[in-house]
Every structure is written in C-alpha cells, then in structure tokens.
Amino acid sequence: MLVVTNVRQPILAAYVSPLAALDEVAEVVIVRDRPDVELGRKVRVAAPPPWWPHTTVTKLLSRAYLLRREVARTRPHVMMTVHWFPDGPGLLRLARRIRVPVVANIIGGRAELMDGGRRVALSHLPRALKRWAQGYQRDRLNATAAISCTGSTTSNWLREAGVVRPTLMTLHAALDDAWFRDAVSRDIDVVYVGRADPDKRIDRLLRTLAAIGVRRPGTQVAVVSVTEAELMNYPELVTARAALGRGLNLLGRVDSVSDVLSRAKVLLLTSDTEGRTLAVLEAMACGTVPVVTDVGDLREALDDGRAGITAPLHGSEETVVALLADAVIALLNDEPRRKAMADRGRDHVRREHDPTRTREEWRALIRVAMGSKDGPCASS
C-alpha cells in the first residue's frame, strides 16, 4: 500500500495503523514532507532529507518525486491518499500508468471537494475558477476505485455533488484502549483542540468564549494546538481575554492531548466545515462532552446528538455564537446531565471506533478497490 498524505501522527495512528495491522498487508509506505511519525514495523515513511526547504512549491515537488521513486521500488497493489487535495490528481495520473487502483480517503468532509478543495476555496481566486476547480476535482474523484468517508452526511453530499462512479464507504477512525482511562479531576471547563485554519473559525471560537466568560465568571478555558502567535492575528482575542482574564490558557502544542482532554468538561468546536474530526472522538473517549457546529458528520459522530450538542449554522453570526455559548453554559451548570452525556459518548466511541471494526472496514475497502476491473485504474 502506498499512501500520500501530510496528516500528523494521531490521524495516521487512527486510520493507517489498522490498515497496517491486516495480515494481508505486507507494508504501508507513507509519502510525506517530514519523517516525524512512528507507526510500527510494517509502516515505512518516505520523506525528503532534513535540509530540504519546506515551502509550498518544494513540498509538492518532493512528494511528486518520492511518489515516483517509491512506485518504482515497491510496485504497490493499491495507492491512496488521506485527504484528496492537493496530491490526489497527481497520484491518480501515476496510478493509471501502472494500472493500480486508487482509494481516496476523505476525512475533511465536503471541504475536500467544495470550490476545488479547502486551500482553493479559502483563497481569493475568482468564483468562476473555483467552480471549475470543483468540477475538475469531481472528475478526478470519479476516476478512483473507491472512496472512504467519515460518515453518511459526507457520502450523501458527494453523491449529490456528482461523485457517482466510485463505491463510497464509511471508514471509522480507530481509538485504542489507551484513550479510555479513568477521568481525573476536571479542572478545565472548556477546551478547544484544533488548527487555526480559516474554516475552523477561530474568530467565532473567541467570540463564543468571550460570551461564556461574561455570563459565567471564573470559567477555565484551555486552547490546544494553536499558538499564541497565531491567535494574535484575531482581534477577538482582546475581547476573550477581557472576559475570561486568567481563565484563558493558551497551551499551544502539548505532549499529550489526552492529558488535557481528561481534565476537561466540554470541548468547543466552531468550524464551518468538518468530517468526523478526530478531536471530537478523542474528547468523547476521555469523557469530555462536545459542543459543536452542526456541520459534516459531527451529528453522526455524537450518536445523532445524544452524546453532545450541535448548533445549527442558521441566522446571523451573533445567533450562532449565542447558541454555542448557551449550550456550553447549560452543560457546565448541570453536571449530572453533562456526566450522563459523557458516559454515553464514551460508550458510543468505544463501540463505533473499535480498532477491530476499522480493520474490517479496511479489508472491505481494499476488496472493493482490488475488484475494480472496469475502471481506468483497474489492477492488472
């Protein structure tokens, strides 16, 4: 198996490790920009040397070179991406030449296709060019053998958007027993775990935290994986700091996300687009209740809303912020309800995201891909 992706260790562990654990898989080669992951003896990382510059152009060039080198070395049976953009089309062209199937693993929801992919969609390119880019990506996805999604909402949207040819399947991220440890004292009221990408809506996050701080003095907040330098780009940080005071803790990168989540009561996620983000699943496993915007596959991830609260993106921005703040405060002020939802969430993740299930989903996905005889990427 040859995989091209730049996702980090936690996502690779949740998705690729169960693939490598299959007896019928001899080796998984991951092409990425840095060799900073460790996934066991059957997973090999192909990355450029440490001195290679890390600009957008040089990253794309190095991945294209490494992809061709590894194809020549290993002659893979299946090629795949984790995230389709930007490597998917190039990988597809190479796979067609050597006649092996391509599997696209869509973990970012509709953002991986809409307006040509997240980075194109968030750029200042003309709207007409974005529409063309979406059509181009749709056609490329239609040439794959199979696509995995993180839930039925994304799968249904892809069909409606014109991705009609490949088999669509749900692939659940795997969380092992290490995530389901006994909770320690929960001294963090609200936690955010994620990136500062525009579609994550850090501005909305900070406005919601400010609203919570005004109405609930003394609230303790931890922001993880976003640096203070990144947050300084948002004027809303001033208001959030004024409302929360010393209760706002910007932790940046941490050694163990689970250590923070096991101390938290509520996870707050304010994105415009998501798949079934791993941070939500990790939070539920740690006994933290998610309050999220109702986007992508998050409602499904929350056991159809029974293991957390989803806020619709309807009405004005002020309305969305108020709904999110109301939900967080209601949970913080009702510990029995919060605890009941936390218990349900932990049970849901343990059942739905068991590594055994993920391995069987991978086995079915590979079977579909290898059996795709009639497409342009059919295996020889």
Mark whether 157 and 251 lie in a shared domain.
no
Q: Mean pLDDT across the stretch 265-275? A: 96
**Contact between residue 216 and residue 265 where contact means Cβ atoms under 8 Å apart:** no
- In a domain, residue 123? The reply is yes
- In a domain, residue 338? The reply is yes
pLDDT at 377 over 50: no
Mark whether 190 and 242 lie in a shared domain.
yes
pLDDT at 379 over 60: no
pLDDT at 124 over 90: no
- In a domain, residue 282? The reply is yes
Q: Mean pLDDT across the stretch 24-40? A: 94
Mark whether 189 and 106 lie in a shared domain.
no
**Contact between residue 120 and residue 133 where contact means Cβ atoms under 8 Å apart:** yes
- In a domain, residue 378? The reply is no
pLDDT score of 372: 67
Mark whether 95 and 116 lie in a shared domain.
yes
Buried b / exposed e along 29-50 (16+ C-beta atoms within 10 A): bbbbbeeebebeeebebbbbee
- pTM here is 0.93
pLDDT at 373 over 90: no
Token digits for 253? 């990168």
- Report the alpha-carbon distance of residue 134 to residue 205 in Å, rounded: 28
**Contact between residue 36 and residue 50 where contact means Cβ atoms under 8 Å apart:** no
pLDDT score of 120: 84
Of the candidates 263, 268, 192, which has an alpha carbon nearest to the alpha carbon of residue 231?
A: 192
Of the candidates 258, 348, 14, which has an alpha carbon nearest to the alpha carbon of residue 148?
A: 14
- Report the alpha-carbon distance of residue 228 to residue 249 in Å, rounded: 10
pLDDT score of 374: 43
Mark whether 281 and 161 lie in a shared domain.
no
Band (pLDDT 50/70/90 cuts) for residue 308 is very high
pLDDT score of 183: 66
Residue ranges making up the domain that contains 165: 2-174+354-370
pLDDT at 87 over 50: yes
Mark whether 31 and 132 lie in a shared domain.
yes
- The fraction of the chain above a pLDDT of 70, given in percent, is 97
Least confident window among 112-121, 248-257, 261-270? 112-121
In the Cβ-directed half-sphere of 335, how many Cα atoms lie within 13 Å? 3
89 C-beta neighbours (distance < 10 Å), count: 17
Mark whether 56 and 75 lie in a shared domain.
yes
In the Cβ-directed half-sphere of 136, how many Cα atoms lie within 13 Å? 16
- Report the alpha-carbon distance of residue 165 to residue 141 in Å, rounded: 8
Q: Phi first, then psi: what are they for 133, rounded to 5°?
A: -65, -40
pLDDT at 338 over 60: yes
Band (pLDDT 50/70/90 cuts) for residue 181 is confident
- Report the alpha-carbon distance of residue 185 to residue 297 in Å, rounded: 30
Q: Mean pLDDT across the stretch 13-24? A: 96
Q: Mean pLDDT across the stretch 144-163? A: 97
We report the CATH number of the domain holding residue 40 as 3.40.50.2000
Mark whether 103 and 201 lie in a shared domain.
no
Mark whether 182 and 163 lie in a shared domain.
no
- Report the alpha-carbon distance of residue 207 to residue 217 in Å, rounded: 15
Band (pLDDT 50/70/90 cuts) for residue 197 is confident
Of the candidates 128, 175, 215, which has an alpha carbon nearest to the alpha carbon of residue 348?
A: 175
pLDDT at 380 over 50: no
Mark whether 366 and 343 lie in a shared domain.
no
Mark whether 103 and 203 lie in a shared domain.
no
pLDDT at 208 over 90: yes
Mark whether 347 and 202 lie in a shared domain.
yes
Of the candidates 187, 182, 188, which has an alpha carbon nearest to the alpha carbon of residue 287?
A: 182
Q: Give, as one character, the DSSP assignment of residue 245.
A: G
How many domains does one find in the chain?
A: 2
Q: Mean pLDDT across the stretch 35-53? A: 94
- The fraction of the chain above a pLDDT of 90, given in percent, is 89
Average pLDDT for the chain: 93
pLDDT at 140 over 90: yes
DSSP symbols for 293-318: ES-TTHHHHTTTTTSSEEE---S-HH
pLDDT at 333 over 60: yes
Q: Mean pLDDT across the stretch 325-343? A: 97
- In a domain, residue 116? The reply is yes
Residues 98, 103, 107, 109: is their CA dihedral positive or negative? positive
